[in-house]
Structure 1
Amino acid sequence: MALEAIIFHGTGGNPEVAWYPWLAKRLTARGYTVEVPHYPTLNAEPIDTFLPKVLEAHTFTPETVLVGHSGGAALLLAILERVPAAKAFLVAGYCTPPNTSDEPVLRPSYDWDAIRANVQDPYFINSLKDPYGCDAAQGRAMFERVGGTQIVRNDGHFGDYNQVYDEFPLLDSLIP
């Protein structure tokens, strides 16, 4: 079985910020083939036109490990409605508007049954307080609909322009 992982950055991010390069190196050292794509239109382009491009650009198998941060975690919900994954890690994720900003990455509603069927043990990692509203209540809303594991920390947004978060040992330890 080939080990594959895809790490999706957050809104306005890129593959070189926060803990993404560190995690990619850690997973590669363990034998994973890792993709950390750059999607500059994430959460700027409507999900209905953005999602098909993402699905076409990657190979998703039932063995793929998916990691998404912030807007990338919201993207994972739409992906998981359509494709299976071995594991999914939604970091600072959200399923409803977390603040007053426009959120084109969100769907008006989700097929929670399909998401539940496509990933057996999702992880929702959120903070008690998040500067963008991607907090523990958002993680709880997803957990209650899908199950899995919810982890609540007090680590802000887990990396941002004003928050250095170059390593993420907790996330690394959760990925098999």
Structure 2
Amino acid sequence: MTKNAIIFHGTGGSPDVAWYPWLDHRLSERGYRVERPHHPGINVEPIAALLPKVLAAHDFDADTVLVGHSGGAALLLAVLENLECAVAQTILVAGYATRVNGSEEPVLQDTYDWDRIGAHGGDLYFINSVTDPYGCDASQGRLLFDHLGGTQIVRDDGHFGDYDQPFDTFELLDRLIR
């Protein structure tokens, strides 16, 4: 079977910014079929409206690696909860599961079935920063780790890419993805 990876951008983002194209290239060189979809509804549309579109737009199986950044990481919680199968690996970069900085977060659900998410997430990694300007920080990563297990990685790298933070490569992700 062909390994596939899907890289989900963050709120207000695009699949062509930050480290997403770089990771796409690296994984493609390793034989992955890579998708970098544009989902402009992330954190704009309520998750109940966005989720069916995302689930219908992609194929998920035991050879799938999911990578989500910020709002894309939060989206993956709902995706994993609603899959019918487990994926190989899930990496949440600047992920979060509760409202951050008092902002509205339509990408979040009110509650989560953590056992179902954990059962479908494969090898789970949470990469957060102690200096995230949006509150998607190490405490959010710890919350995810406490609910799901896996591996928490804490860095000092801001938001891992933003309009004012170039982050064109992400060697750690390349090393983590099998």
The TM-score bracket by the shorter chain reads over 0.9
Which residue of 2 is the match for residue 168 of structure 1?
Answer: 170
Deviations along 1:71-109, one digit per CA (max 9) or x if unpaired, are 000001001102221100000000001112110000011
Residues 1:94 and 2:63 aligned together: no
Whole-Å separation in 2 of the counterparts to 1:79 and 1:113: 13
Residue in structure 2 matching 1:117, options 116, 119, 124? 119
Whole-Å separation in 2 of the counterparts to 1:119 and 1:102: 26
Q: How far 1:53 moved relative to its partner?
A: 0.2
Whole-Å separation in 1 of the counterparts to 2:89 and 2:131: 25
**Letter aligned with residue 149 of structure 1:** T
Whole-Å separation in 2 of the counterparts to 1:119 and 1:38: 22
Whole-Å separation in 1 of the counterparts to 2:72 and 2:166: 18
When the two structures are superposed, what TM-score results if normalisation uses the length of structure 1? 0.98
1:63-82 residue pairs with structure 2 within 5 A? Answer: 63-82=63-82
**Letter aligned with residue 26 of structure 2:** R
Q: How far 1:40 moved relative to its partner?
A: 1.0
User: Tell me, which stretches of 5 or more residues in structure 1 are unaligned?
Assistant: none
1:30-109 residue pairs with structure 2 within 5 A? Answer: 30-83=30-83, 84-109=86-111
Which residue of 2 is the match for residue 8 of structure 1?
Answer: 8
Identity %: 65
Whole-Å separation in 2 of the counterparts to 1:143 and 1:51: 23
Residue in structure 2 matching 1:139, options 138, 141, 161? 141
Whole-Å separation in 1 of the counterparts to 2:82 and 2:65: 15
User: Tell me, which stretches of 5 or more residues in structure 2 are unaligned?
Assistant: none
Whole-Å separation in 1 of the counterparts to 2:121 and 2:58: 17
Whole-Å separation in 1 of the counterparts to 2:32 and 2:173: 15
Query: For 2:139, what is the secondary structure of its paired residue?
Result: helix
Q: How far 1:120 moved relative to its partner?
A: 3.0
Deviations along 1:145-174, one digit per CA (max 9) or x if unpaired, are 000000000000000001000000011110
**Letter aligned with residue 149 of structure 2:** G
Whole-Å separation in 1 of the counterparts to 2:62 and 2:75: 18
Whole-Å separation in 2 of the counterparts to 1:155 and 1:109: 29
When the two structures are superposed, what TM-score results if normalisation uses the length of structure 2? 0.97
Whole-Å separation in 1 of the counterparts to 2:97 and 2:32: 28
Q: How far 1:116 moved relative to its partner?
A: 1.1
1:121–1:147: 8 Å Cα contact kept in structure 2? no
